[in-house]
């Protein structure tokens, strides 16, 4: 069955509903899908191209482009700030890498199809001069460019024909030969953003909050949680009024189940496969982040000083750190930062920038912890200066991952028919 219709698809395929859902889930996670990487799902996308394009356009305001070997889902309407591009190692791109990616794409969108690494470097430098961007001739710039080219290879935008780009990171005389896909490179930029005049204009063009229903659906699909505080009262009332219809549509397209509480709505994927970042998750950072939620449960909703977070992590290391990464155990502030980054990405916590008038007290707190040995010299060197000036707040959905005790079980507030969140 096709989305939103009782009509049988043109190919009369009996598995069409499941295939449509599989394709939609894949495209949300992989907006650029290449036939050589995912041949089976690409075949299904080609088969159901019309239904997929209609569903994405009508329900989310997205647009689907499909050609002989590439599918590109153009997402507009909402820009999630927790979805960075990632290097081959899994870490998020740095600002220099984003700048170099833009320069590389701009320099190669019109070709050529085959280029040497040395020629590509020269084109990037020329593009930087034209864009009035100063690029240092340094090993850091070379490493960043290698990261960008590796990302392009991984996503089907380039192929290493001769030698590899990796060696350029340590040897500025190294060369390689790349086969580019200018047709795919040209598909990366969103058409509505091409004429943006500055970063603020670019973000404004990407957002479409005036298309209320589509915008809220985008938020539910792209974000782990949509809080009531993210919306105006009119938007919240609209979402609550149409919650049943929204749940039916999101279940039909993606297999998502809406979980609604007084403070917001979460779109839950029972399989856990749709989420870019699963939680709870294994590893030192995932385990520490989960335990940190419980350690700070008494401070839910409060602004918590960064020094208190690091202290809590230190206590968790003492209690549970025997099987954790030695590098992170030896650097509590680093582990705290990575754990909080994970919670912020999942919208279970938020960072709060300290106002200028509050910074003196915060610095005093940091100095006191240093005096008591809570920060090692190595930790202070390895952490960004601003971390000690930040505070964090646990958000309502964090309660969903806390252990339930008889004391924590309560009846809904009589003035709020939904009760409190998670």
> What is the rounded distance in angstroms from the CA atom of residue 66 to the CA atom of residue 72?
6
Please give, one letter per residue, the 3-state secondary structure of 299-358: HCCCCEEHHHHHHHHHHHHHHHHHHCCHHHHCCHHHHHHHHHHHHHHCCCEEEEECCHHH
> What is the rounded distance in angstroms from the CA atom of residue 266 to the CA atom of residue 219?
10
Range of the structural domain that residue 256 is part of: 207-268
Is residue 38 one of the residues assigned to a domain? yes
Task: Return the beta strands (E) in 122-272 as ranges.
Answer: 158-162, 177-180, 225-227, 257-261, 264-268
pLDDT at 207: 67
Count of structural domains, the chain: 4
> What is the rounded distance in angstroms from the CA atom of residue 340 to the CA atom of residue 327?
17
pLDDT per position in the chain (422 positions), as tens?
A: 456 554 444 455 668 889 999 999 999 999 999 999 999 999 999 999 999 999 999 999 899 999 999 999 998 877 777 778 889 888 889 999 999 999 999 999 888 999 999 999 999 999 999 988 898 889 999 999 999 999 999 999 999 998 889 999 888 898 999 999 999 999 988 666 666 777 777 767 666 666 678 888 888 888 878 999 988 898 899 999 999 999 999 999 999 999 888 899 988 888 877 776 778 788 999 999 999 998 988 888 888 899 999 999 999 999 998 989 999 999 999 999 999 999 988 889 888 876 554 444 443 443 444 344 443 333 333 344 455 457 899 888 888 887 755 444 444 444 333 444 45
pTM for this model (two decimals): 0.78
pLDDT at 209: 61
* Structure tokens that stand for 307 in this block: 């020094």
Is residue 49 one of the residues assigned to a domain? yes
* Structure tokens that stand for 6 in this block: 């009782």
For residues 397 and 287, membership in a common domain is answered with: yes
> What is the rounded distance in angstroms from the CA atom of residue 293 to the CA atom of residue 205?
36
For residues 264 and 287, membership in a common domain is answered with: no
For residues 127 and 157, membership in a common domain is answered with: yes
- Give, in degrees to the nearest 5, the angle at Cα 351 between 190 and 101: 30
For residues 36 and 100, membership in a common domain is answered with: no
For residues 174 and 211, membership in a common domain is answered with: no
Is residue 7 one of the residues assigned to a domain? no
Is residue 60 one of the residues assigned to a domain? yes
């Amino acid at each position: 069955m096709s989305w939103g219709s009782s009509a049988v698809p043109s190919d009369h395929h009996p598995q069409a509903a499941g295939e449509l859902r599989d394709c939609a889930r894949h495209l949300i996670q992989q907006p650029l899908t290449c036939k050589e990487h995912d041949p089976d799902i690409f075949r299904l996308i080609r088969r159901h191209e019309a239904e997929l394009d209609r569903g994405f356009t009508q329900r989310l305001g997205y647009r689907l482009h499909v050609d002989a070997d590439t599918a590109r889902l153009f997402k507009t309407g909402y820009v999630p700030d927790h979805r960075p591009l990632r290097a081959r190692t899994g870490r998020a791109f740095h600002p220099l890498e984003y700048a170099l990616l833009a320069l590389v794409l701009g320099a190669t969108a019109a070709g050529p199809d085959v280029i040497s690494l040395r020629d590509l470097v020269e084109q990037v430098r020329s593009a930087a001069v034209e864009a009035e961007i100063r690029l240092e001739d340094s090993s850091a710039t070379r490493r960043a460019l290698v990261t960008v080219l590796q990302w392009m290879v991984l996503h089907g935008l380039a192929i290493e024909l001769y030698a590899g780009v990796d060696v350029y990171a340590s040897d500025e005389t190294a060369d390689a030969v790349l086969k580019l896909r200018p047709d795919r490179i040209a598909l990366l930029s969103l058409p509505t953003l091409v004429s943006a005049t500055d970063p603020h204009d670019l973000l404004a063009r990407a957002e479409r909050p005036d298309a209320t229903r589509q915008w809220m659906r985008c938020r539910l699909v792209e974000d782990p949680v949509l809080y009531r505080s993210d919306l105006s009262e009119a938007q919240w009332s609209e979402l609550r009024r149409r919650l049943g219809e929204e749940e039916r549509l999101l279940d039909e397209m993606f297999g998502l189940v809406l979980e609604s509480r007084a403070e917001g709505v979460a779109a839950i994927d029972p399989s856990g496969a749709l989420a870019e970042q699963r939680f709870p998750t294994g590893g030192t950072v995932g385990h520490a982040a989960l335990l940190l939620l419980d350690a700070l449960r008494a401070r839910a909703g409060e602004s918590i000083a960064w020094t208190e977070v690091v202290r809590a992590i230190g206590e968790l290391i003492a209690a549970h750190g025997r099987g954790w990464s030695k590098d992170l155990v030896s650097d509590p502030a680093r582990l705290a930062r990575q754990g909080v980054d994970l919670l912020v990405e999942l919208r279970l916590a938020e960072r709060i920038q300290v106002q200028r008038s509050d910074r003196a007290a915060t610095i005093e707190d940091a100095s006191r912890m240093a005096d008591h040995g809570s920060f090692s010299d190595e930790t202070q060197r390895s952490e960004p200066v601003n971390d000690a000036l930040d505070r964090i707040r646990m958000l309502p959905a964090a309660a969903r991952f806390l252990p339930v005790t008889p004391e924590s079980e309560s009846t809904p507030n009589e003035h709020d028919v939904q009760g409190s969140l998670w």
